[in-house]
Structure 1
Amino acid sequence: MMAKCSLQSTDPHLCQSLDGLSHLAETRRFKAWFLDQFGVLHDGKKPYPGAISTLEKLATTGAKMVIISNSSRRASTTMEKMKSLGFDTSLFAGAITSGELTHQYLQRLGIASSKGLGLQVVENVEEAEFILAHGSEALGLPSGEARPTSLEDLEKILELCAAKKIPMIVANPDYVTVEARALRVMPGKFHSPVHRNTVKGKYLAL
């Protein structure tokens, strides 16, 4: 289905109906492309039909392509994921993700090193000094593993955290994400303000 424009203008370039990206690529008017990944380039499991070939054609125009994503993964991990799905990551100038920005934020707070977070994961609310929410299906363990946890049980944990006024950092603000043909709830459903002087080193990992 082609998009329709309701704006009234005499400028033919202000609003146009397009069949796809190929027309825009052929014009060579755009020097940079900012591309989302989930629901745009792939469905979390495999690339969408024509996505890889379209990017290859865009690259021939000399345009720079950057991935922008609410993914809680860091930029380097995002590139690894794209490569595993069959995308040529050399075509991208880089990636900007919520996970990367979260890591940089923690560094500015002085509780993350340049190589990693350097934080201590705890299993109970009583020990936690803040919550780091980057998923909605498991609870992180001190061992580095994750324990599958229902959304209902996570909500109960968050209710306890809210009662103790424990701050939360949300590494992925999406309300839902695309996974194959289904929509999955994401941490954007959980929201709590973060105050710089309350975020320390021990945290619950969602």
Structure 2
Amino acid sequence: MIAKCSVQSNDPHLFQTLNGLRHIAETRRFKAWLLDQFGVLHDGKKPYPGAISTLEMLATTGAKMVVISNSSRRASTTIDKLKSLGFDPSLFAGAITSGELTHQYLLRRDDAWFAALGRSCIHMTWSDRGAISLEGLGLKVVENVEEADFILAHGTEGMGLPSGDVRPMSLQDLEKILEICASKKIPMVVANPDYVTVEARALRVMPGTLASKFEKLGGEVRWMGKPDKVVQLLCSLSSSVIILFLIFLDF
């Protein structure tokens, strides 16, 4: 997802171009490193050259590394994914994902907006990429918009069924459902605000595309993930933090 930059300055020293991470890592100035994953650590299929060795070297400086991702999957799934790609899970202090934030907010209901949502939802999820479970949230998945309290968007490949199965649907068909929901003032929770993501050399449409469409239709959307302030609050781990979101630089 492309966010607008609010920083405006003529100071040429405000931003610094780096040719590598070794110098700033060896200063030990930064205690926490917040790492995006897709397009930074890996391309969805394999690690980028130097990514694993760089993290291993970074760990020797005592830095705490946390994955910050707009993935609609939960934090534990993200760490498992990194492990399957060859990353050592012990390198990471943890992970904060949009999917995990969404799960926790729906579970706790200590936020006034979420507390008012209701329990019946239209669930837009993944099909080929693997559906996302709503187990433990006390939600009722419905197919009929008339029965829905809100839309929960985890994916863009299909609609969840009450049985737990998924009915594959095109993006266009999902957008038709959004049109009906918008006309009935049904709100949406988007568990991945990215518009697209990188997968190998291809771009895949993400739930943020649906959310953007829904807002244009006049619908209300709660965006769970970067760059929303809910993630900024959780990322206030230390005054000494470096964030690698845009490009990964080798040692």
Query: Is TM more than 0.5 here?
Result: yes
1:109-120 matched pairs, under 5 angstroms: 109=109, 116-120=136-140
Instruction: Select 2:12's aligned residue among 1, 8, 11.
Output: 8
1: CA distance between counterparts of 2:207 and 2:221?
A: 15
CA deviation string 1:45-102 (max 9, x = no partner): 1111111111111101110000001111111111111111111111111111111111
2: CA distance between counterparts of 1:186 and 1:70?
A: 10
Instruction: Name structure 2 gaps, 5 residues minimum.
Output: 1-9, 110-114, 120-134, 223-251
2: CA distance between counterparts of 1:164 and 1:135?
A: 22
Please tell me the residue identity of whatever aligns with 1:119: L
Please tell me the residue identity of whatever aligns with 2:201: R
1:38 matched to which residue of 2? 38
CA deviation string 1:100-147 (max 9, x = no partner): 1111211232679xx721212122323222110011122112222222
Please tell me the residue identity of whatever aligns with 2:140: Q
1:165-176 matched pairs, under 5 angstroms: 165-176=185-196
Task: Give yes or no for the alignment of 1:71 onto 2:87.
Answer: no
Instruction: Name structure 1 gaps, 5 residues minimum.
Output: 1-5, 196-206
Task: Give yes or no for the alignment of 1:56 onto 2:56.
Answer: yes
Please tell me the residue identity of whatever aligns with 2:46: K
Q: Which has the higher contact order (CA 8 A, sep 6+)?
A: 2
- Cα distance 1:7–1:150, how it changes in 2: closer, same or farther (>3 A)? same
1:184 matched to which residue of 2? 204
1:104 matched to which residue of 2? 104
1:88 matched to which residue of 2? 88
Q: TM-score, normalised by structure 1?
A: 0.81
Q: Residue 186 of structure 2 contacts residue 220 of structure 2 at CA under 8 Å; is this kept in 1? A: no
RMSD over aligned CA atoms reads 2.1
Give aligned-pair identity as a percent: 78
Task: Give yes or no for the alignment of 1:193 onto 2:197.
Answer: no
2: CA distance between counterparts of 1:133 and 1:71?
A: 12
- Once the two structures are TM-superposed, the CA of residue 15 in structure 1 deviates from its matched residue by 4.0
1:134 matched to which residue of 2? 154
1: CA distance between counterparts of 2:57 and 2:221?
A: 43
1: CA distance between counterparts of 2:42 and 2:201?
A: 11
1:27 matched to which residue of 2? 27
1: CA distance between counterparts of 2:206 and 2:38?
A: 13
Deviates most, 84-93 or 124-133:
124-133
CA deviation string 1:27-61 (max 9, x = no partner): 32211100001110011111111111111111011
Q: Considering only CA atoms, is the larger Rg found in Structure 1 or Structure 2?
A: 1
SS for the counterpart of 1:58 is: helix
